[in-house]
Amino acid sequence: MENHIDHIAISKKFRRSLLDLRNKRGADTGSDHHLMIANFRFKIMATRKKFETRRKKYNVQKLQKPSIREEFKLELKNRFSVLSTQNEDTDIEASWKAIKNVHIETSQKILGFRENQQKE
């Protein structure tokens, strides 16, 4: 009669990662134990962004109200008209950054951020 003394201990967290487990009885180890071979599959996850660094979402639901929508349009039109009268011989990157900043600042001022941010 032979006892079951060769086992692999694994936590519940990694139980699904264990693909195959085999007992190699032919290996000469000089004891009652047998060689155990296991195959695992681990999924490596990318590090998640911290909550502070995640981009906040604007409350675009406010644009459903006609008064806020008109205020947003007017603010953008005024800011872009000032932007177009400034130095026009700037490079593409500077122009893009200026346009982006105008849109971000106007969205923050008029729309604000969403209260309940769901998981992305």
26-83 residue pLDDT tens: 766 677 777 888 888 887 777 766 655 567 788 888 889 999 999 999 998 888 887 7
Tokens of 73: 């349009």
29 assigned to some structural domain: yes
116 assigned to some structural domain: no
69 assigned to some structural domain: yes
Domain count, the chain: 2
Q: 18: closest CA among 38, 43, 45, 35?
A: 38
Instruction: Provide the mean pLDDT of the chain.
Output: 80
- Whether residue 2 has pLDDT greater than 80: no
118 assigned to some structural domain: no
The answer to whether the pTM exceeds 0.85 is no
Instruction: DSSP letter for 58, please.
Output: B
Whether 63 and 40 map to the same domain: the answer is no
89 assigned to some structural domain: yes
Q: What is d(CA 81, CA 89) in angstroms, rounded to the nearest whole number?
A: 16
Q: pLDDT: is 95 or 64 the higher one?
A: 64
3 assigned to some structural domain: yes
Whether 60 and 105 map to the same domain: the answer is yes
Q: Which domain holds residue 106?
A: 55-110
115 assigned to some structural domain: no
19 phi and psi angles, rounded to 5 deg: -90, -50
Q: What is the structure's pLDDT at 29?
A: 66
Whether 59 and 37 map to the same domain: the answer is no
Percent of the chain residues past pLDDT 70, beyond the cut = 79
Whether 20 and 61 map to the same domain: the answer is no
Q: What is the structure's pLDDT at 67?
A: 92
